[in-house]
Amino acid sequence: MKNFEKTIIYAGKWLQMNVTKFTTTNGGPGIWEHVSRPTRVSDSDGVSILATIKHDNCIKLITVAVYRIPLNQWVLELPAGMIDAKDHDPVTSALRELKEETGYTAFRENVEDVGIIAYNDPWKSNECSRLIKVRVDEKLNENKKPVQDLDPEENINVELIPLDNMQQHLGVLMKEKNYAVDSRIYLFSLGLAFTNK
């Protein structure tokens, strides 16, 4: 592939639509439609938070149900958000987003892993993020009755999902609440199922 010529078709606040013309490896013309993030201020656009907490005597994954306009449906996702210019690093972003979206408080000492830069949909976008693994301390007073700090346009419900038999619990939420499920949550549940076999 060579001779890339990108044209911006639409430039919005959060997304940019592009058409790129190029020469294929066999010398023919190619054209690709793709989306990019014009807001990247770090080595990745955002963070997703894989947060667990001990609740009702079992370990649960802290997830969020977000109403997603493109699907016109509630989608079960990991808490996530963009890295802001004021954030020092991905961990700062992750702890901020966890508090805002779920109400749960965690600190740097609760962070168990900072993941690699991973691309979300590389066939259609350059968007990438880091997965931050956090163990939330259920004994903290502020985590006994967490209070969200949502932006006015955000509509988010918190769902705690037991890690034991997670796929079964996902199925119940999908049936009872008509949730769609983000692929990252499904893949995590599949990984747990493989590990437990």
Look up the CATH number of the domain holding residue 135. 3.90.79.10
H-only helix segments in 70-182: 90-102, 166-177
In a domain, 41, yes or no: no
- Total domains in the chain come to 2
Return the amino acid letter for 3. N
Same domain for 56 and 31: no
pLDDT at 65: 98
CA distance 84 to 13: 14
pLDDT at 151: 87
Taking the model in full, what pTM does it have?
0.92
Q: pLDDT tier at 87 (50, 70, 90 boundaries)?
A: confident
**Angle CA(32)–CA(33)–CA(38) in degrees, nearest 5?**
120
Same domain for 29 and 107: no
Residues 145-155 have a mean pLDDT of 91
Same domain for 127 and 190: yes
Same domain for 50 and 30: no
Q: What is the pLDDT of residues 54-80, one digit of tens each?
A: 998 999 999 999 999 999 999 999 999
Return the amino acid letter for 86. K
Domain range for 105 is 46-195
Same domain for 100 and 18: no
